[in-house]
Chains A and B, each alone.
Chain A
Amino acid sequence: MLLKLAYRNLIGAKLRTVLNVGVLSLTYVLIIWHQGLFSGMYRQATRDVIKDEIAGGQYWHKNYDPYDVLSLDEGHGSVPQELKPLIAKKKALPILIRQANLYSKGRVQSVLIKGIDPGQKILDIPTAKLDSGKDILPVMVGKIMARKNSLKLGDSVTIRWRDAYGTFDAVEGEIVEIMNTNVPTIDNGQIWLPLERLRKMTGLTNQATIIVVGKEVVGEKDLSDWQFRNQDFLLKDVSDVVKSKRTASAIMYLVLLFLIMLAIFDTQVLSIFRRRKEIGTLMALGMTRLKVILLFTIEGTLNGILGIGVAAIYGTPVLIYTANTGIPLPQAMEEYGFALKVRMFPVYSAWLITGTVLIVMLTVTIVSYLPSRRISGLKPTEALKGKIG
């Protein structure tokens, strides 16, 4: 009964209802869309990072610290005996990381050299191209690296590094591949060489900095000089970035939620103020105060429910369309520091949708109820006079 009456009142309020329901539906759609974007971003980034960089996890030499370039001097060691069978079966992949200077087109910059087995199958990057068969040192770079230094296929570069005895040495190399990866941490400021060539150049025979294990390998444990870093550990950077972006965007929802709160609260306060006489009439006709309060609360809350309906009407196609065709991202997004495709595919989970609806509905219900409570102090005789007390 109350629902019917509340619905009538709401429809009767025309413009105000249209505005409230409009803002509410927009809030649903924006929150779900935006959060879905972050979920998609996270899913995509982790998928690409796993595919191109971390596979089933990595052993790190105990002195290796990716945040400290100086650690690279000491951060290497002989491949441990325990992993040799896995490496032989191509289920583990040693990578040697060294510091160097790269000279190209009259410019010099400090880079990391990563030595990798060209025949590896664990990471989804085109290392096979490093198997050039030529005498000249084959060099592979990522697309960000190539763009920043305007490197093209066939360009020659000079690499200068310090050998095992601390003396500088230099070699000429040729760009044989520009890999199309979405993972900046294997791209930006890095060049890739065949592992054995790098080992020879640096005199670090049989040495590695990290050892990547295949996805199918399970139950890895720390070895004496090598610590095993699992996927969760290695993905922490990605999830931290996404989390921080998420937090920043949460401010937008707070603003939107606040807007709703204001709109509904204002509507409620105003209608209780203006409809005083009506409230008195309802009481005279035999409605209890509690019922009147309930009626006004339902009226406010119905805005939220109508909002869901309207949001579903125009939001569903938008959400489905963006989930299927993706959203093009500006190139600048690469600078986020983690894997991103040029197209983002948002992911809308049932949790996201129900959670959003629940939060918004809860907000709407509370701000509908709070002003309505004032009715409990209203005498029917006073209300009927329509006076403001």
Chain B
Amino acid sequence: MPLVKLEKVFKHFPIGGGNFTALKDINLGFEKGEFSGIIGPSGSGKTTLLNIIGSLDTPSEGSAVVLGEPVEKLTEKQAAKLRSKYMGFIFQTYNLLPVYTVYENVEFPLLILKMSEEEIRKKVLAALEWVHLTDKINSRPSQLSGGECQRVAVARAIVKQPELVLADEPTANLDAENSYHILDTMVNLNKELKTTFIFATHDDKVIRYLKRKVHLVDGKVVKDEVVSSQ
């Protein structure tokens, strides 16, 4: 069974008197361990699609089954639980909690899961190890560079070793060097922990790393290509 299964998904947004259809008849499946991306021009519906997969939004029509749960049927509480247990999010604007330290930011998803203090500490340090930020544990986001912020965000997304990481334009605010650093980290995580990554992006640097590219144009999937790996 695929990790994510979208069937005949439509998304309409009310605009003025009528509707704007942002997603049209999306049929897609994502398997465990994929390193794939939804790519397309601005306004093509990438974020909208990623939000539905992330149970932050629901399809207007069709069904989206994520980790065995039909997103459109979940209560707010069930969706929150699904996200807290199995998903990690990475945003274009990092979205770190500004008054928290690096450690506290990474710790946050584990606090929601209610773990023992000791276990939390171990996992947070391991996650910071992954992104090479162990020396900035007590810094606050305002004291970090953009690249470092995004590395904290990556650590926060992977600290609970989720099934699925959703990354919306994670490199849009980063220079090439930082982008590659982040991407290398994620590729390693994908290899070692079998974490599934789904990106939404139009950044060539990211696209180069993808093993599967789902092309979206005007809310429609126009091409779904798997890159042969050597």
Contact residues of A with B, CB < 8 Å? Answer: 1, 4-5, 8-9, 11-13, 277-278, 280-281, 283-291, 379-381, 384
Pairs of residues from A and B, 7 with the lowest C-beta to C-beta distance, nearest first: A286-B84, A12-B99, A286-B83, A281-B95, A288-B80, A380-B56, A284-B89
Question: Chain A residue with minimal CB distance to B140?
Answer: A12
B111 contacts A4, C-beta separation under 8 Å: yes
- With most chain B CB atoms within 10 A of its CB, the pick from A1, A4, A286, A291 is A286
Is there a chain A Cβ closer than 8 Å to B32's Cβ? no
Question: Chain B residue with minimal CB distance to A5?
Answer: B111
Is there a chain A Cβ closer than 8 Å to B123's Cβ? no
A289 contacts B76, C-beta separation under 8 Å: yes
Q: Which of A11, A284, A289, A379 meets B83, CB within 8 Å? A: A284
A286 contacts B112, C-beta separation under 8 Å: yes
Chain A residues within 8 Å of B89, by CB? 281, 284-285
Is there a chain A Cβ closer than 8 Å to B91's Cβ? yes
CB distance from B19 to the nearest CB of A (A): 17
A288 contacts B77, C-beta separation under 8 Å: yes
Query: Could you tell me the distance between the alpha carbons of A12 and B98 in the complex, rounded to whole angstroms?
Result: 8
CB distance from B105 to the nearest CB of A (A): 10
A277 contacts B95, C-beta separation under 8 Å: yes
Is there a chain A Cβ closer than 8 Å to B54's Cβ? yes
Per-position 1/0 for B81-92, Cβ under 8 A of A = 111110101010
A384 contacts B84, C-beta separation under 8 Å: no
Q: Which of A9, A13, A287, A379 meets B80, CB within 8 Å? A: A287
Question: Chain A residue with minimal CB distance to B101?
Answer: A8
A286 contacts B95, C-beta separation under 8 Å: no
Chain B residues within 8 Å of A283, by CB? 56, 80
With A285-B89, A380-B56, A384-B91 given, can you name 8 additional A-B contacts, CB distance below 8 Å?
A12-B98, A13-B99, A278-B98, A281-B89, A281-B97, A284-B83, A287-B84, A380-B57
Is there a chain A Cβ closer than 8 Å to B108's Cβ? yes
B57 contacts A379, C-beta separation under 8 Å: yes
How many chain-B residues does the 8 Å CB contact rule pick out? 28
Chain A residues within 8 Å of B57, by CB? 379-381
Is there a chain A Cβ closer than 8 Å to B100's Cβ? yes
Chain A residues within 8 Å of B56, by CB? 283-284, 380-381, 384
- Which residues in window 36-63 of B have CB below 8 A to A? 51, 54, 56-57
Chain A residues within 8 Å of B112, by CB? 1, 285-287
CB distance from A380 to the nearest CB of B (A): 4
Is there a chain A Cβ closer than 8 Å to B72's Cβ? no
Chain B residues within 8 Å of A1, by CB? 111-112, 114
Contact sample, A vs B, 9 pairs, CB 8 Å cutoff: A4-B111, A8-B104, A280-B95, A285-B89, A285-B112, A286-B82, A286-B112, A289-B76, A291-B80
CB distance from B29 to the nearest CB of A (A): 23
Is there a chain A Cβ closer than 8 Å to B109's Cβ? yes
Question: Chain A residue with minimal CB distance to B48?
Answer: A381
Is there a chain A Cβ closer than 8 Å to B93's Cβ? yes
Question: Chain B residue with minimal CB distance to A383?
Answer: B56
B93 contacts A288, C-beta separation under 8 Å: no
Query: Could you tell me the distance between the alpha carbons of A288 and B75 in the complex, rounded to whole angstroms?
Result: 10
Q: Which of B82, B83, B84, B99 meets A8, CB within 8 Å? A: B99
Q: Which of B76, B97, B100 meets A288, CB within 8 Å? A: B76
B81 contacts A286, C-beta separation under 8 Å: yes
- Which residues in window 117-158 of B have CB below 8 A to A? 156
A381 contacts B51, C-beta separation under 8 Å: yes
Query: Could you tell me the distance between the alpha carbons of A11 and B91 in the complex, rounded to whole angstroms?
Result: 26
Question: Chain B residue with minimal CB distance to A385?
Answer: B47
Chain B residues within 8 Å of A4, by CB? 111
- With most chain A CB atoms within 10 A of its CB, the pick from B54, B89, B97, B114 is B97
B104 contacts A285, C-beta separation under 8 Å: no
A277 contacts B93, C-beta separation under 8 Å: yes
Chain B residues within 8 Å of A277, by CB? 93, 95
CB distance from B71 to the nearest CB of A (A): 13
Question: Chain A residue with minimal CB distance to B112?
Answer: A286
A11 contacts B99, C-beta separation under 8 Å: yes
Chain B residues within 8 Å of A381, by CB? 51, 56-57
Chain B residues within 8 Å of A280, by CB? 95
- With most chain A CB atoms within 10 A of its CB, the pick from B100, B112, B156 is B112
Chain A residues within 8 Å of B93, by CB? 277
- With most chain A CB atoms within 10 A of its CB, the pick from B57, B83, B91, B99 is B99
Chain B residues within 8 Å of A287, by CB? 80, 84, 112
CB distance from B66 to the nearest CB of A (A): 14
Chain A residues within 8 Å of B104, by CB? 8
CB distance from A387 to the nearest CB of B (A): 13
Question: Chain B residue with minimal CB distance to A280?
Answer: B95
Chain A residues within 8 Å of B84, by CB? 285-287
Question: Chain A residue with minimal CB distance to B84?
Answer: A286
CB distance from B126 to the nearest CB of A (A): 18
Query: Could you tell me the distance between the alpha carbons of A1 and B113 in the complex, rounded to whole angstroms?
Result: 10
Question: Chain B residue with minimal CB distance to A9?
Answer: B99
Query: Could you tell me the distance between the alpha carbons of A9 and B140 in the complex, rounded to whole angstroms?
Result: 13
CB distance from B79 to the nearest CB of A (A): 9
